[in-house]
Structure 1
Amino acid sequence: MEPALRIDFIALVIIIGVFLGVFISFFIIKKSFKKNLPNLFMGLFILAISLTMFEGWLNYTGYIFRFLWLSNFAEPLNFLMAGLLYLFIDTQLGGHRKKQYWLHFIPSILWLGICMFYFLQPPEVKYNDSLQVMNLDYPRLVENQTFSDDPLGVRNNTNLLTGIYFIIYIVLGSRKLLLKVKSLGESIFTTTNTTLKSIRNISMHIIAVTIIFIIVKNVFHDDVGDHFIYLYVSFMIFMTAMQIMNQSAYYDTVSTFLEVPTLKYQKSSLNESEKNRILEGITSQMENEKYFISSTASLSGLAKAIHESPHHVSQVINETLGYSFFELLATYRVKEARAILKTELGKKLTIEEVAERVGYNSKSAFNTAFKKLTSQTPSSFRDS
């Protein structure tokens, strides 16, 4: 007899969080692959946590009994998420041991190997296991088990090992963050540094999730209370989606539903003299006011500074200069960084400090832009 399905408000919130998390992670990974390591690791983290939530949703609703082949499919990701978060922090704060990044994937790979013994079990074993972890009072099936699903005897301690794994990485990430804050002579709670504030806030959320995890595992049996964890994570994903939408450059241009990109400026009312006037305003802001130095520089902010519409400013940048707004920012920022690196002060500053002085929050994004425009890394440029 198959357990009844449970579809309620909690199940609805979690599945929306899953779909939204996968959707967001796809674009973050796509846009940052080989270009922005911090964002790449964050995209992978959101994907991993979304897949873990999906497994939890299957258990909570009872759909797992209709898709037994998916039973515990996300378990190896428990030993990947904290590592991805640490790599996000490390690359944001100037990590440079790129060849050692793969080491943080080892726990997940090892656990995947351990789980293979379970994945190869017949459906009866997975059915009984799902009944047990969800504490459901249904008759068990007769198992035809040819080999143990846990020959090393470690999967019975999955929750304990997951908690230890997260705590270790929280300690490592917190230590790295606190050392960086101390080196800058700031306070973690009052810092105005955008990068530090972002990492601090993310770290606090992960600590909160870990605390909820520990409480849930001590109060409830097996996976019964996991939906409390997933509700909090869904809230985090919803907030992330709102932040992305609020910061999107899409709203800086005049767009209509399903507008064809190639027709973007076809109906523009700008003539050549107006374009030249707007170009002069853009150039003045960039070269005289150094608008690009602000880490929050945006197309809408630039347009406001020269009293023009974002759509017209974007058009002039695209058509007259042949750049996107962000390419224009990168050009001025790299030019400014080259000037700094040639000075005596520039020789004393760290690359991350130079990056922050020209408007970058991420060292890796700065390195990528610098190398793309100069064919050199900032360090090799300074050394030469």
Structure 2
Amino acid sequence: LILFSLLLYTLLSLKLVKEERYRNDTDKANLKSAKYIFTRNSAIILCTFFILLFVVFYIYDDDGGDHFIAIFQTLVAFATTYIIISKSKFFEKSWVADKYETLSNAADEVTFKEIETFVDNNLFYTNTQASLKNLATQLAIHPNQISKTINSDFGSNFNHYINSKRIDLAKERLVDPQFSHLTIEAIGETVGFKSKSAFYNAFKKISGISPSKFAKSISPKL
């Protein structure tokens, strides 16, 4: 029964590996998926164990070779335990399930280029009410999906992404003669900031200097 079950699991694992390879023939990168690797390794281990059993039974007439089987099983158990522990979120800073894991399938994904195009063409960031939820509504995409894309491609969160665009526009307007009649606070409002303090804090965080110092450093060069 033990040999039969090992053979059955081996054949099933090999069948899954074969199906996965056939399914991904046109996209070799997908063969590196975690599910494929796990199934492939399982098939290799089961085949090795199956061969080991026959070798031991063939060479040893009594139970003298059982320690080889026990050693192999122990190594597999330790390796499995190590993989489970190393992949566990219990040892991460936050072991709570990643909010992105509940996202919908790939058909509902949005690219960073699509987000950029919409945000830039509509000057979305200049709206003081601009928010992740608002953007998600207009793009008809789940907020977490947009957040994930921005984090992945821009390297920071939604607020920093929007503020970066606001600061870039503010830099242009601070030295643009057409906006010379406006105060720094007013220019901050035109690019989407609700208050002077929010504008100053974001500008200094992103540029390293205050808006007034930036304007003074650029004006003499114009």
Residue 145 of structure 2, aligned match among 285, 299, 312: 312
Q: Distance in 1 between matches of 2:189 and 2:97?
A: 35
Report 1 or 2 for greater relative contact order, CA contacts < 8 Å, sequence distance ≥ 6: 1
The answer as to 2:97 corresponding to 1:265 is no
Structure 1 pair 268–375 and aligned structure 2 pair: CA distance change class (3 A) = same
Structure 1 pair 261–297 and aligned structure 2 pair: CA distance change class (3 A) = farther
The answer as to 2:128 corresponding to 1:289 is no
For the pair shown, the structure with the greater C-alpha radius of gyration is: 2
Q: Distance in 1 between matches of 2:123 and 2:100?
A: 28
CA shift digits 1:258-308 (9 cap, x unpaired): x9556222343454x865x43222101221111010111111110111121
Structure 1 pair 381–262 and aligned structure 2 pair: CA distance change class (3 A) = farther
TM-score under structure 1 normalisation?
A: 0.30
| Alignment correspondent of 1:321 | 154
| Alignment correspondent of 2:164 | 331
1:342 shift after superposition: 1.8
| Ranges in structure 2 where 5+ consecutive residues have no aligned partner | 1-93, 218-222
How is 1:163-202 mapped onto 2 (pairs within 5 angstroms)?
A: none
CA shift digits 1:43-81 (9 cap, x unpaired): xxxxxxxxxxxxxxxxxxxxxxxxxxxxxxxxxxxxxxx
Contact 1:299 1:325 in 2 (8 A): yes
| Alignment correspondent of 2:195 | 362
Runs of 4+ in 1 over 6 A off after TM superposition: none
Structure 1 pair 266–343 and aligned structure 2 pair: CA distance change class (3 A) = same
1:359 shift after superposition: 0.6
How is 1:158-237 mapped onto 2 (pairs within 5 angstroms)?
A: none
Q: Distance in 1 between matches of 2:137 and 2:103?
A: 19
Structure 1 pair 274–357 and aligned structure 2 pair: CA distance change class (3 A) = same
Contact 2:99 2:144 in 1 (8 A): no
The amino acid that maps onto 2:98 is L
Q: Secondary structure at the match of 1:376?
A: coil
Q: Distance in 1 between matches of 2:99 and 2:145?
A: 11
Contact 1:340 1:346 in 2 (8 A): yes
Q: Distance in 2 between matches of 1:375 and 1:351?
A: 17
The amino acid that maps onto 2:101 is Q
1:323 shift after superposition: 1.6
The amino acid that maps onto 1:285 is F
TM-score under structure 2 normalisation?
A: 0.51
The answer as to 2:204 corresponding to 1:371 is yes
Identity of aligned residues (%): 31
Q: Secondary structure at the match of 2:100?
A: coil
Q: Distance in 2 between matches of 1:261 and 1:350?
A: 46
Q: Distance in 1 between matches of 2:128 and 2:187?
A: 13
Contact 1:337 1:358 in 2 (8 A): yes
How is 1:129-168 mapped onto 2 (pairs within 5 angstroms)?
A: none
